[in-house]
Amino acid sequence: MMKRDLRFSRRRLLKSIGAGAALLPMLQADRTDAACYVGGIKRMYILAWTNGMLSSINNWATSGNDPTSWSLGSMNFQDSLKPYMSDLLLLKGIDYKFIKDMPGSGERTGHACFPGMLTGAFYQLLSSGTSSDLGGGISVDQYVGTQLQKGGYKGLVSLNQGTYVVSTGHLSWSAAGQVVQPNPDPNSVFNLYFKGSLPTTVTTGAGGAGGASGANNTSAIQKSILDYVIGDLNRFSNIVGSEDKQSIDQHLTSIRAIETRLQNTTTTPPMAVDGGAPVSTVTGTPAACSFPSTASEPKTTLAASVPVITKLQMDLAVAAFAADLTRVAVMQISDQGAANLIMSWLGFTSGGALASDPNTGDANGFHAIAHENTMRKVTCDTWFQTQIAYLIGQMKSISDGTGKSMLDSSVIVGMNSMRTGTHETTGVPVVMAGSCGGYFKTGRSLGLPAGTPNNGLLVALCNAMGTPVSTFGETSYGGELTVLKG
Amino acid sequence: MKAQEFRRSSFVIAALLSAGSVVACTGHIGGLASGTGGSASGGGQTGAGSGSGSGGSGSGTAGSGTADGGGPTGSAGTSGVAIVTTGTPPAESAGPLVMRRLTYREYDHMLADLLGDTTAPAEGGNAWSPDAPNAVGYVAPSSVADLQVDLYNQTADGVVETALQAVAAGQTAGKLTIPCKAPTTSAAETTCATQFITSFGLEAYRRPIAAAEQTDLLTLFSKVRGLGLSFNESLGAIVKGMIQSPNFLYHWEIGPTAPVVGSDGLVPLTSWQLASRLASTIWETTPDDTLLQAAQAGQLTTAAQVATQVTRMLSDTRATNGLFNFHEQWLFNFGSQGRDLTQPLTKSSPLFTAAVAQGIQTEFADFVSSVYTGDGTLQALFTAPYTFVNHDLGIIYGVTGPATGFAKVALDPARRGGIFTQTAFLATLASDGADNPIYRGLSIYLKVLCGTMGSPPANVPAVTFIASGTTRQSYDAHGMSACASGCHNFFDPPGFSFENFDGIGAYRTTDANQPVDATGTFLTPGNATITFQNALDLSKQLAGSAEAQTCVDRQWTRYILGRPETTAESGSMSIAYQKAAATTGFSIRDLMATLVQSKAFMFRQPSAGEAL
């Protein structure tokens, strides 16, 4: 064997685009097999980032319930959304009440909101830094996805993606303390969730003494392997102490999730969940109904890769929606601080460590720019709105030819962990798009009363998705934000 | 290493959170020792961490006497767990055994050993996010997220397919050998598969396969064979199952026999369990044949038997893995302020080439290995005037490095000696552009002296760099500010001892055209005063300090056990300390070897709820 010293391997840094290029033929082969489902399926896409959606000098107007007399944000920062005004529902804004009210020591600024943004629950601050903070309850993506599965849906609970997630403040939780990690790598997303889930023939591996078999029942083979692993996990779980048993049982749950995916790969057309007409199966716009090529994937660990990775991740999510591989997706762009996110594609170049505080990242990093909270920040804000616009455009482009698009039965939620670049956790703006099958009344820009907790939004999302709840997270924060329904 | 990447980024967050307006200083030091019994010994420092420090609770279990062994029963400590440095040690016992998942490094090393896979899928994979370090700064992953399980699943497919292809091409693929040639009957296949399960299972599970496991694996074999896989592919499916099993992925090492609780209430680890734990601790991988044979023969039940293996293992090149990992986490992982040796911040200096950035890892590993294969003392680690350089590193040191590869070079003993004066330490614990006394000082205070310190308060002011001032002047002005001084007085001074070294570790006598001042004095966590002339002087004093010596005892214990020390380990740590102290210069090799043959390592408490 050629043994190489692995001590200091850092291929994570050195990883090139080679793996992406290798995927290309397979991706193209999959195209013809991918079914494209449009109408009647409710889907939820949450996009989150930090440092505020606004700065001190840009804003958008609210107009109560009047859908006609409002305009998008000042300084042109929302111009990319102009084509979609009738699909939008803008909120100003929600309060992250949990961050102020929850017990325990720690910071109370917007950077610390990630673990509660989607749970609405008090979370557990641990002493070893924000990285180890533990969410206090299930997050809305996981709740909705799990409930959909309980109702018979066969796809993923949710597709959790990220780009340039350098730090580890987490958004998504399958239960209190149980994190759902975002996958930062489009190639990995493809390999994990698409490859085995497509109605395509996969040849298994090398031959050998018994001769090449070319078995094409990969799922059954995988299931046999996982059955063994499950048996081993059960034996293991019965032997270890009760605290360790919890970890092993979580492992078991994760293995079962893989097995569930495998069982559901036989692609029977999905059922509509909104009580509407049966799902249309159309070929749609060919480009939108096929799986994107990740061949051009650059290094996922580079800030400069963020635009490309973001696009690839969004393309994959839309493709996953189209194939009904998932009905819930969460995408996180950068982390809780984005301190070293140098948005080079916007013309920013590294300015070295921030002179006033070398420990808060680059002088031209997104965080430093956010603290300026003026023109340079607006440039960044504009880019983020463009990402929402891109996603809306993609989901609208998939239509069944009768005027109904994927967006119509879906909801997109653009969220931030603070209001502007200076950490406010009240009046935090939200950009929603899509009526979720008529549940939300779009074409509005709402001003919400001060003290409207994010929980009301989370309740509304659950209810819109057909997985009803009366409260979400901290129960004392009340129920649904019904004004969203119009 | 991913853990370090993780903590460095979390530091950024901690700093971000503090970037608010400066109002007042709200932070506290996490519990300064109040000392007990009129001596510096056993001052418990139990605060730390939360930023709201609780003040010294002095919960140490100090004996009388002095920390430096001057009394008949000296003890010193910072964690509240006493180490008796002279005189009769407490009775040995053992604490709970931590069940933990393989670290990414272990996982990669094991796949390399078992299947010949050298791609380091976990360390090298974009989608594998780093595991968090535990409360005492060592990565010991416990619970698992869906994504990781998905990745284990995906990786198992990939590495096994590749290994099968290698075998089919007549190449070696780790321990993956097919024990028979193309069996032609079903019965012959089953016989061969059984053989394979026994032989490969021993390697993958680090113990003999149990009967129930073998039955299930044979079932798996026949199922996938029936689904159309070839014979070899079916064996591959067995391997895929094994390397996704908890018996491979977790350190708990159940069986093959049921645990037996002794009259002292403790459970002895079996020879198999010890073999696995030793291999993990010292080599960061799976046991080799010699260890497995010793376990098979039941020859890992006495301290002497373990000692024999440890000596052998330390002389093996694989020991570099474990030694690197321990020392790297020990010196660089101090919570949210820690730095990553494998990912030094970018440097403006043209001398800090890619070869240097990579090379400091090898420098660090080779140096710590050379200490443990050399005289094995703390004194050597902290003061020996040599290092290992490649060509570009040599330029920073002002010595001639080899044209290719690494070479051991002597360093000017008037300027450098020991690990703290090497580029690996100095350039890692630095800011982007320049040296950073805070990081360097924190490593000394928190990690070498086992001090504790709360998180920086939200509104501590940032360092303001004085135009044409020295690094020290800027950091001094910051550290002396009313808000910062409460903490910085403790760790800034040891950091200033390194002022003779710039941000890439090059030696200097002037900074900003002014003479370097590397002198200082500070109060240690144990309330001793250390006054030094420079880093060489400080290093020398630390090497001889009982406080540093007891601290390295604690650190090795934390690494080996994967958790904070408890009073149950007090006896074993005391014995290890005294064994180490019996050698001039304090033998950290003996310290480590003693710990892994101690009751604290070879026994465990039953876990709550464990099936016994």
Residues B160-212 have pLDDT tens digits of 999 999 999 999 999 999 998 889 999 999 999 999 999 999 999 999 999 99
B343: contact with A, CB 8 A cutoff: yes
**Chain B residues inside the 8 Å CB shell of A184:** 126-127, 129
A11: contact with B, CB 8 A cutoff: yes
Q: What is the pLDDT of residue B132?
A: 75
Residue of A166, A229, A238 lying closest to B245 (CB–CB):
A229
pTM, whole model, 2 decimals? 0.82
Stretch (H or E) spanning B491? helix B485-496
- Cα of B503 to nearest chain A Cα, Å: 13
- Please name the amino acid found at residue A175: A
List the single best residue of A232, A237, A242, A253 to mutate versus B (max B Cβ within 10 A). A232
Q: What is the pLDDT of residue B458?
A: 56
Asked if B224 lies within 8 A of A235 by C-beta distance, the reply is no
Asked if A353 lies within 8 A of B217 by C-beta distance, the reply is no
Buried b (16+ CB within 10 A) or exposed e, A164-195: bbbbbbbbbbbbebbbbbbbbbbbbbbbbbbb
Alpha carbon distance B368, B448 (integer Å): 15
- Within 515-554 of B, beta carbons closer than 8 Å to A belong to none
Please give the structure tokens belonging to residue A485: 């329904």
What tens digit of pLDDT does each residue of B16-65 get?
444 333 333 443 333 333 322 222 233 333 333 333 223 333 333 333 33
- Within 411-470 of B, beta carbons closer than 8 Å to A belong to 431-433, 436, 455, 458, 462-465
Q: How far is CA B131 from the centre of its chain?
A: 13
In this prediction, residues B478-503 reach a mean pLDDT of 87
Residue B225 has pLDDT above 70, yes or no: yes
List the single best residue of B26, B46, B126 to mutate versus A (max A Cβ within 10 A). B126
Enumerate the β-bridge partners of residue B408.
B388
Domain residues of chain B, as ranges?
A: 2-30+322-543, 109-251, 267-321
Q: pLDDT tier at B339 (50, 70, 90 boundaries)? A: confident
Alpha carbon distance B545, B551 (integer Å): 10
Asked if B9 lies within 8 A of A167 by C-beta distance, the reply is yes
B130: contact with A, CB 8 A cutoff: yes
The burial of A319, by beta-carbon neighbours within 10 Å (0-12 exposed, 13-18 middle, 19 or more buried), is given as: buried
**Chain A residues inside the 8 Å CB shell of B610:** 239-242
DSSP-based three-state secondary structure for B194: helix
Q: What is the pLDDT of residue A265?
A: 54
B247: contact with A, CB 8 A cutoff: yes
Q: What is the pLDDT of residue B14?
A: 45
**Chain A residues inside the 8 Å CB shell of B348:** 352
Q: pLDDT tier at B502 (50, 70, 90 boundaries)? A: very high
Stretch (H or E) spanning B531? strand B529-532
Residue with the larger pLDDT of the pair A394 and B313? B313
**Chain A residues inside the 8 Å CB shell of B108:** 6, 9
- Cα of A403 to nearest chain B Cα, Å: 37
Within chain A, which residues score under 50 in pLDDT? 1-34, 128, 198-215, 266-269, 273-288
User: How far from B485 is each of A214, B368, B482, B488, B533, CA to CA, in Å?
Assistant: 70, 34, 6, 5, 22
Asked if B609 lies within 8 A of A245 by C-beta distance, the reply is yes
Q: pLDDT tier at B258 (50, 70, 90 boundaries)? A: confident
For A367, name the nearest residue in chain B, comparing CA atoms only.
B16
Q: What is the pLDDT of residue B13?
A: 42
**H-assigned helices in B279-353:** 289-296, 303-314, 319-332
Residue of B7, B145, B217 lying closest to A181 (CB–CB):
B145
A218: contact with B, CB 8 A cutoff: no
Query: Cα dihedral sign for A428, A434, A436, A441?
Result: positive
Alpha carbon distance B370, B376 (integer Å): 8
Stretch (H or E) spanning A414? strand A410-416
Residue with the larger pLDDT of the pair B153 and B489? B153
Asked if A221 lies within 8 A of B125 by C-beta distance, the reply is no
- The CA dihedral of B35, B36, B41, B42, to the nearest 10 degrees, is -90
Determine what percent of chain B is predicted with pLDDT higher than 90.
Answer: 67
Domain residues of chain A, as ranges?
A: 17-188+272-485, 217-264
Alpha carbon distance B352, B361 (integer Å): 14
Residue of A206, A240, A423 lying closest to B20 (CB–CB):
A423
Residue B548 has pLDDT above 90, yes or no: yes
List the single best residue of B2, B5, B11, B16 to mutate versus A (max A Cβ within 10 A). B16
Asked if A225 lies within 8 A of B220 by C-beta distance, the reply is yes
B390: contact with A, CB 8 A cutoff: no
Please give the structure tokens belonging to residue B190: 């089953």
**Chain A residues inside the 8 Å CB shell of B129:** 165, 168, 181, 184
Extended strands (E) in B384-439 = 386-389, 407-410
Closest CA to B437 of B356, B344, B509, B535: B535
Quote the mean pLDDT of chain B: 85
Q: What is the pLDDT of residue A133?
A: 80
Asked if A13 lies within 8 A of B343 by C-beta distance, the reply is yes
What tens digit of pLDDT does each residue of B568-595 get?
999 999 999 999 999 999 999 999 999 9
Please give the structure tokens belonging to residue B334: 């101090």
**Chain A residues inside the 8 Å CB shell of B52:** 105
A231: contact with B, CB 8 A cutoff: yes
Residue of B19, B432, B436 lying closest to A371 (CB–CB):
B19
Closest CA to B448 of B331, B529, B354: B331
B195: contact with A, CB 8 A cutoff: no
Closest CA to B241 of B228, B227, B223: B223
In this prediction, residues B336-352 reach a mean pLDDT of 78
What interface predicted TM-score (ipTM) does this complex get? 0.85
**Chain A residues inside the 8 Å CB shell of B431:** 353, 358-359
Question: Which class would CATH give A17-188+272-485?
Answer: alpha beta
Residue of B130, B237, B335 lying closest to A224 (CB–CB):
B237
**Chain B residues inside the 8 Å CB shell of A361:** 12, 15-16
For B138, name the nearest residue in chain A, comparing CA atoms only.
A128
Alpha carbon distance A407, A436 (integer Å): 8
B244: contact with A, CB 8 A cutoff: yes
The phi and psi torsions of B83 (rounded to 5 degrees) equal -115, 115
- Exposure on the CB side of residue A265, measured as CA atoms within 13 A: 24
Residue of B126, B149, B608 lying closest to A185 (CB–CB):
B126
Q: What is the pLDDT of residue B511?
A: 92
Q: Are B83 and B573 contacting, i.e. CB atoms less than 8 angstroms apart?
A: yes
Residue of B50, B241, B610 lying closest to A225 (CB–CB):
B241
Asked if B607 lies within 8 A of A241 by C-beta distance, the reply is yes
Q: What is the pLDDT of residue A291?
A: 58
What tens digit of pLDDT does each residue of B53-75 get?
233 333 333 333 333 333 333 33
In this prediction, residues B418-424 reach a mean pLDDT of 97
Q: How far is CA B52 from the centre of its chain?
A: 28
A335: contact with B, CB 8 A cutoff: yes
